[in-house]
């Protein structure tokens, strides 16, 4: 840069902030350095995380009820909680689920409600309940939050589960000892249980019940503080040491003693062993036992630092692993974060290069460089302000930087282009910089304001989706605001002091200047000889031109709303893991579930060998959840390391598994994204009669399966598990038995009596007293069960109680106080989701209600979230359009011309739809977010053209003014469009998995602005004259 001469200083316009900054290049340079250095420093020290951390508006109430059936849980836990919290203010919806041994209530709050106050009110309401059964665990009331998982480490190999869990605990302790790691949790590990099994004969021999033994163990296994004694030498603490932790320690407990001194110890009558909960099947990886360790980020910890610490710790841990035991890193979110960071940097550099090349073609090289630097300064400087608006560096905020790449340069382009035009007329570069900036400062300010207003609706998307995407619009708004400041106060100083590249004879600069001038001359000839005549023809036939444009809009709009295109919640992205979910029939035993798990695992392994899938996948994970659900996952390699898609693997997998004997359902999932996999259509059916509800659900599933697009149709209606209902007979009551005593002895005999819970190291251990497995594995043992009365007598169970065989639910779901059954399905192709939902709403569900009067339904899941999000977006979009119109009305000082500018928006939407069609993408919520943001970007070109026509017109004709505006503003319009689209091109055509979520938004923005520009260049001038015609017509009538 070179300083302007003293004469140039005197000739330049005086007064105003723009002129002062243009003269004081040192101030401009210092501001630029502060933004660049401050942004880089902030990026190094600010919070980094994989996904944005936010609080969910959900309060969860969890209560354990060991051994209870779902109907008991519903009656004893769910109903009292629902009634107790019904009067709490700020509750939007209550959903609850009763399963064997536990109940869970999820209370969703109204958006914007005071979470802590609602949580405290709900906690107090639950604590006031006095009707809970005595056997329940302590209620847990907590606010739901997202755990910030960084990565997962798996251990697997040919060793027993006990050894593997001990290794996992050793690894957990080693990881937590690292200064960069705070939170580590074991996952998919069996729970420790000390089993004390006493045969029925031994109990009867000594006149004991399982509850008696459990009570004895409880009082004999804990330390007792006995106070203190004050002596002359000081205070002495007293303590009875009786704490026991291991099986051999419990063995020495005295169970029976008499006055003669004989003692019966626990080991004399029981088999005692330390082991795990009886689950039947333990997690496997590649047919070897496995355990998993989750590592989380806490506070300001960086995911990349944690990943490096884990890899460092694992290298040291390898030396203690037994032969054959291996480790692997699974679900590495830190690596995803690193890839996303590299993706942003790569796209940013590529976008800067593309923008610089485009600018260098239209402007002088040095001028183009400083315009491009405005983009860099805004981009990096924006990071400096992110902590002030509570935004961290995460995957979504990085998405925001990717989106704003093409938009941020627009204002600098308009200023730079106008200054360049002034340079052709004014030899004083300082004067050209000041006058050029002042001339377009108004349109630039209003264009940035409209851009900001257009992104504001994205900040108010409700629910978890809105909170997840919240940082994106904030980042865009911060960067756009900074770009406005840079283009008006920093850029003019650089342009005022930048000499023309072609002043010196010879050299690279002169050659580049010559090339640029040659391109400009050719471009100018195109404007004058091709665009000019076309514009004149369109202006003369302006009504025909407007009609053709409207027809084009109707055709594309009709296609978009037809069956050819649908709308989905999020782009479908192949996940790192493909899951086969196998639901077993109700009543399946643990051994039966384990057998099916082994069959599926072996079939999957054969598929690997036959199709050489080791090149596309790392292995197979198998796990049994409860007794009725088997989860088998194929861990895929990264997309760039395999030549098969997840869908192709699923088709092979379906054939390999085939029909499984005794299996209710097999579903496949291969998608990931915000919130994880959710089925495309989810319907909650409700009816006051549970039996009718079950039949309606079965009928609805059958109807849904007839849809050719439906896949994996399933419901959560799980009635069918056998249940014995006991009722105490008068004979039993006469012997002093009560219902509670009868239930306790039944529970102890088959479920076991919980003696105590204790802490062994960092693990919670249960000590459970029960009958040997061979005395409780068959229902016929009920006939031999002997009940002990309070007086010590023994009577057969069936002599004191009647028994009735029924069927019980394995789970019961409720929504807002009513039982519901959920029916869900996936749809292929995804664009058919809208058509399927319409058919269900208008045909299938009304017909179903005719067969089952009183039936009601609601759409839940992704469809419900889509409806809430789109309704909010369209509502906010309407308000944003009103604000944009008001800004334009202020800028034009009129009410009609803003309508011409706003016409660009529907044609931008047309371009967005065309872009999705050309590139083969479905319209998604992310696409809609791009369309909303597009509304502020696409009107900038119209704003510049109309503003120039108004200034040029004076006393001349409207035809000459708008013609000249089209010719004069053709270059800046094409320049802003080319730089915007060019900045987004790297993202639009990005092939990496990390970019797939955001590409639909980039398509909406890029193709929207590209298509709308072509329309704007001819349609806006026509509408300008049509408005003039209408004004003149009214003026003539009035005269």
Q: What is the mean pLDDT of residues 537-557?
A: 89
Facing residues of 254 across strands?
Answer: 265
State the virtual CA torsion across 547, 551, 554, 558 in degrees, nearest 10.
170
- Please give the sequence-ordered ranges of beta strands (E in DSSP) within 24-129, or none if there are none: 55-64, 91-99, 102-109
Question: pLDDT by residue (tens digit) across 137-155?
Answer: 888 898 877 667 788 888 8
Rounded to an integer, what distance in angstroms lies between the CA atom of residue 912 and that of residue 934?
A: 9
Q: How confident is the model at residue 30 (pLDDT cuts 50, 70, 90)?
A: very high
Please give the pLDDT value at position 563. 63
Q: Between residues 458 and 992, which one has the greater pLDDT? A: 458
Per-residue pLDDT at 856 exceeds 50: yes
* Among the ranges given (238-252, 375-389, 560-574, 978-992), the one the predictor scored with the smallest mean pLDDT: 560-574
The percent of residues above 70 in pLDDT, for the chain, comes to 90
Rounded to an integer, what distance in angstroms lies between the CA atom of residue 480 and that of residue 410?
A: 10
- Would you call 721 helix, strand, or coil by DSSP? strand
Rounded to an integer, what distance in angstroms lies between the CA atom of residue 680 and that of residue 828?
A: 9
Per-residue pLDDT at 112 exceeds 60: yes
Per-residue pLDDT at 33 exceeds 90: yes
Q: How confident is the model at residue 37 (pLDDT cuts 50, 70, 90)?
A: very high
3-state helix, strand, coil in the chain (%, to 5): 55, 20, 25
CB-based burial, 137-158: b 16+ in 10 Å, e otherwise: eebebebeeeebbbbbbbbbbe
Please give the pLDDT value at position 260. 65
- Would you call 231 helix, strand, or coil by DSSP? strand
Judged on CB neighbours under 10 Å (0-12, 13-18, 19+), 768 is buried
- Would you call 286 helix, strand, or coil by DSSP? coil
Question: pLDDT by residue (tens digit) across 161-187?
Answer: 888 888 988 898 899 888 888 888 888
Question: pLDDT by residue (tens digit) across 365-418?
Answer: 777 888 888 888 998 999 999 999 888 888 788 888 877 876 777 788 888 878
CATH H-level, domain 55-145: superfamily:
Multidrug efflux transporter AcrB pore domain (3.30.70.1430)
Per-residue pLDDT at 996 exceeds 90: no
- Would you call 610 helix, strand, or coil by DSSP? helix
Closest to 665 (Cα-Cα) out of 607, 713, 603? 713
Q: How confident is the model at residue 1014 (pLDDT cuts 50, 70, 90)?
A: confident
CATH H-level, domain 573-672: superfamily:
Multidrug efflux transporter AcrB pore domain (3.30.70.1430)
- Would you call 190 helix, strand, or coil by DSSP? coil
Please give the pLDDT value at position 941. 78
Q: What is the mean pLDDT of residues 156-162?
A: 86
**434 touches 22 (CB < 8 A):** yes
In the chain, how long is the greatest CA-to-CA distance?
128
Q: Between residues 260 and 916, which one has the greater pLDDT? A: 916
Distances (CA, A) of 691 to 171, 694, 816: 51, 5, 19
Please give the pLDDT value at position 566. 64
Question: pLDDT by residue (tens digit) across 91-100?
Answer: 888 889 888 7
Closest to 76 (Cα-Cα) out of 141, 119, 129? 129
* Among the ranges given (207-221, 500-514, 548-562, 689-703), the one the predictor scored with the smallest mean pLDDT: 500-514
Closest to 351 (Cα-Cα) out of 405, 403, 404? 405
Question: Tokens for 19?
Answer: 């002129």
Per-residue pLDDT at 675 exceeds 50: no
State how far Cα 843 lies from the chain centre: 33
Per-residue pLDDT at 34 exceeds 90: yes
Distances (CA, A) of 652 to 49, 180, 711, 987: 37, 43, 16, 32
Per-residue pLDDT at 539 exceeds 80: yes
573-672 and 6-45+336-567+867-1038 share a CATH fold: no
**629 touches 609 (CB < 8 A):** no
Please give the pLDDT value at position 478. 93
Facing residues of 358 across strands?
Answer: none
Rounded to an integer, what distance in angstroms lies between the CA atom of residue 576 and that of residue 830?
A: 20
Question: Tokens for 211?
Answer: 């509850």
Q: Between residues 300 and 610, which one has the greater pLDDT? A: 610
Rounded to an integer, what distance in angstroms lies between the CA atom of residue 962 and that of residue 983?
A: 29
Rounded to an integer, what distance in angstroms lies between the CA atom of residue 158 and that of residue 784?
A: 41
- Residue-range domain boundaries for the chain: 6-45+336-567+867-1038, 55-145, 573-672
Per-residue pLDDT at 573 exceeds 70: no
Q: How confident is the model at residue 477 (pLDDT cuts 50, 70, 90)?
A: very high
Closest to 492 (Cα-Cα) out of 1032, 25, 149, 91? 25
Q: How confident is the model at residue 718 (pLDDT cuts 50, 70, 90)?
A: low
Please give the pLDDT value at position 494. 85
Please give the pLDDT value at position 147. 64
Question: Phi, psi (5° rounding) for residue 220?
Answer: -110, 10
Q: Between residues 780 and 60, which one has the greater pLDDT? A: 60
The CATH number corresponding to 6-45+336-567+867-1038 among 2.160.20.10, 3.40.50.2300, 1.20.1640.10, 3.40.250.10 equals 1.20.1640.10
* Among the ranges given (276-285, 910-919, 1011-1020), the one the predictor scored with the smallest mean pLDDT: 276-285
* Among the ranges given (18-32, 49-63, 95-109, 904-918), the one the predictor scored with the smallest mean pLDDT: 49-63
For residue 829, whether the previous peptide bond is cis, meaning omega lies within 30 degrees of 0, is yes
Q: Which residues contact 129 (CB under 8 A, 6 or more apart)?
A: 80, 81, 84
Please give the pLDDT value at position 261. 67
Q: How confident is the model at residue 502 (pLDDT cuts 50, 70, 90)?
A: very low
Q: What is the mean pLDDT of residues 534-550?
A: 90
Q: What is the mean pLDDT of residues 974-997?
A: 78
Q: Between residues 891 and 992, which one has the greater pLDDT? A: 891
Please give the pLDDT value at position 676. 47
Most confident of the following: 305-314, 565-574, 647-656, 940-949: 305-314
**437 touches 415 (CB < 8 A):** yes
Please give the pLDDT value at position 89. 87
The percent of residues above 90 in pLDDT, for the chain, comes to 5
State the virtual CA torsion across 881, 886, 888, 891 in degrees, nearest 10.
-160
Q: What is the mean pLDDT of residues 248-277?
A: 84
Q: How confident is the model at residue 674 (pLDDT cuts 50, 70, 90)?
A: very low
**206 touches 198 (CB < 8 A):** no
Q: Considering just the CA atoms, what is the radius of gyration of the chain in Å?
A: 36
């Amino acid at each position: 840069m070179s300083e302007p001469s003293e004469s140039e200083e005197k000739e330049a316009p005086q007064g105003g902030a723009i002129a002062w900054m243009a003269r004081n290049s040192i101030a401009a340079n210092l501001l630029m350095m502060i933004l660049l250095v401050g942004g880089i420093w902030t990026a190094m020290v600010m919070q980094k995380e994989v996904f944005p951390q936010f609080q969910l508006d959900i309060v969860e109430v969890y209560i354990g009820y060991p051994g209870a059936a779902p109907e008991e849980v519903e009656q004893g836990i769910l109903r009292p909680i629902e009634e107790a919290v019904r009067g709490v203010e700020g509750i939007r919806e209550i959903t609850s689920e009763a399963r064997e041994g536990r109940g869970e209530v999820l209370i969703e709050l109204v958006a914007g409600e005071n979470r802590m106050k609602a949580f405290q009110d709900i906690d107090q309401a639950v604590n006031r309940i006095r009707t809970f059964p005595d056997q329940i665990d302590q209620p847990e009331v907590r606010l739901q939050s997202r755990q910030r998982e960084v990565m997962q480490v798996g251990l697997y190999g040919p060793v027993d589960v006990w050894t593997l869990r001990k290794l996992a605990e050793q690894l957990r302790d080693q990881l937590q000892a690292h200064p960069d790691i705070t939170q580590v949790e074991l996952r998919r590990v069996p729970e420790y249980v000390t089993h004390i099994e006493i045969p029925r004969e031994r109990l009867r021999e000594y006149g004991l019940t399982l509850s008696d033994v459990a009570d004895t163990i409880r009082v004999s296994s804990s330390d007792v503080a006995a106070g203190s004694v004050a002596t002359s030498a000081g205070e002495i603490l007293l303590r009875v040491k009786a704490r026991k932790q291991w099986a051999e320690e419990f063995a020495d407990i005295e169970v029976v003693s008499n006055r003669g001194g004989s003692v019966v110890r626990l080991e004399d009558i029981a088999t005692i062993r330390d082991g795990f909960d009886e689950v039947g099947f333990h997690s496997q990886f590649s047919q070897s036992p496995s355990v998993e360790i989750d590592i989380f980020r806490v506070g300001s910890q960086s995911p990349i630092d944690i990943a490096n610490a884990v890899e460092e710790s694992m290298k040291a841990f390898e030396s203690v692993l037994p032969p054959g035991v291996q480790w692997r890193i699974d679900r590495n979110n830190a690596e995803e974060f690193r890839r996303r960071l590299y993706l942003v940097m790569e796209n940013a550099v590529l976008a800067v290069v593309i923008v610089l090349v485009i600018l260098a073609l239209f402007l002088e090289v040095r001028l183009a460089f400083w315009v491009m630097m405005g983009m860099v300064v805004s981009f990096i400087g924006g990071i400096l302000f992110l902590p002030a608006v509570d935004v961290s560096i995460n995957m979504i905020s990085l998405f925001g930087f990717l989106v704003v790449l093409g938009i941020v340069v627009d204002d600098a382009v308009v200023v730079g282009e106008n200054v360049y035009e002034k340079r052709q007329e004014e030899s004083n570069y300082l004067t050209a910089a000041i006058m050029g900036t002042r001339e377009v400062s108004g349109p630039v300010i209003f264009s940035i304001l409209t851009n900001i207003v257009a992104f504001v609706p994205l900040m108010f998307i409700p629910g978890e989706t809105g909170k997840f995407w919240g940082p994106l619009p904030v980042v865009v708004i911060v960067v756009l605001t900074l770009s406005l400041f840079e283009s008006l106060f920093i850029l003019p100083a650089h342009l005022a002091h930048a000499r023309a590249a072609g002043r010196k004879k010879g050299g690279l600069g002169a050659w580049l200047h010559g090339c640029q001038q040659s391109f400009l001359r050719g471009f100018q000839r195109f404007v004058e000889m091709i665009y000019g005549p076309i514009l004149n023809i369109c202006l003369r036939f302006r009504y025909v031109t407007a009609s053709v444009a409207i027809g084009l809009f109707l055709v594309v709009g009709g296609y978009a709303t037809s069956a050819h295109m649908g709308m989905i919640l999020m782009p479908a992205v192949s996940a790192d893991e493909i899951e086969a979910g196998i639901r077993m029939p109700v009543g399946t035993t643990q051994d039966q579930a384990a057998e099916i798990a082994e069959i599926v695992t072996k079939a999957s392994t054969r598929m690997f060998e036959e199709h050489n899938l080791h090149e596309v996948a790392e292995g197979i994970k198998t796990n049994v959840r409860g007794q009725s659900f088997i989860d088998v996952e194929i861990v895929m390699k990264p997309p760039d390391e395999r030549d098969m898609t997840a869908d192709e693997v699923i088709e092979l997998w379906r054939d390999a598994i085939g029909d499984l004997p005794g299996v209710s359902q097999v579903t496949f999932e291969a998608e990931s994204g915000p919130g994880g996999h959710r089925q495309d259509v989810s319907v909650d059916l409700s009816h006051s009669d549970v039996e009718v509800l079950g039949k309606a659900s079965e009928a609805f599933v059958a109807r849904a399966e007839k849809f050719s697009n439906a896949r994996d149709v399933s419901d959560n209606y799980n009635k069918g598990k056998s249940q014995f209902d006991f009722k105490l007979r008068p004979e039993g009551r006469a012997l002093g038995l009560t219902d509670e005593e009868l239930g306790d002895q039944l529970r102890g005999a088959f479920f076991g009596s919980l003696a105590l819970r204790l802490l062994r190291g960092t693990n919670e251990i249960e000590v459970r007293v029960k009958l040997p497995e061979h005395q409780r594995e068959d229902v016929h043992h009920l006939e031999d069960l002997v009940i002990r009365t309070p007086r010590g007598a023994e009577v057969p169970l069936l002599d004191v109680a009647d028994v009735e065989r029924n069927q019980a639910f394995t789970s019961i779901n409720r929504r807002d106080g009513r039982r519901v059954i959920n029916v869900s399905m996936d749809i292929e192709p995804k664009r058919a989701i809208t058509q399927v939902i319409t058919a269900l709403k208008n045909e299938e569900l009304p017909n179903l209600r005719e067969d089952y009067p009183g039936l009601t339904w609601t759409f839940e899941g992704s469809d419900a979230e889509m409806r809430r999000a789109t309704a909010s977006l369209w509502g906010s979009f309407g308000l944003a359009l009103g604000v944009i119109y008001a800004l334009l009305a202020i800028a034009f000082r009129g009410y009609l011309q803003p309508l011409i500018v706003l016409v660009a928006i529907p044609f931008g939407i047309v371009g967005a739809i065309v872009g999705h069609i050309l590139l083969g993408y479905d319209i998604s919520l992310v696409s809609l977010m791009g369309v909303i943001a597009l509304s502020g970007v696409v009107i900038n070109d119209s704003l510049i053209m109309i503003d120039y026509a108004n200034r040029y017109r004076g006393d001349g004709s409207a035809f000459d003014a708008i013609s000249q505006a089209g010719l004069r503003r053709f270059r800046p319009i094409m320049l802003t469009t080319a730089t915007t689209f060019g900045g987004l091109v790297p993202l639009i055509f990005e092939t990496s998995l990390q970019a797939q979520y955001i590409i639909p938004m980039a398509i909406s923005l890029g193709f929207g602005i590209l298509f709308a520009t072509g329309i704007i260049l001819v349609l806006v001038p026509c509408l300008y004259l049509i408005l003039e015609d209408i004004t003149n017509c009214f003026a003539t009538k009035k005269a």
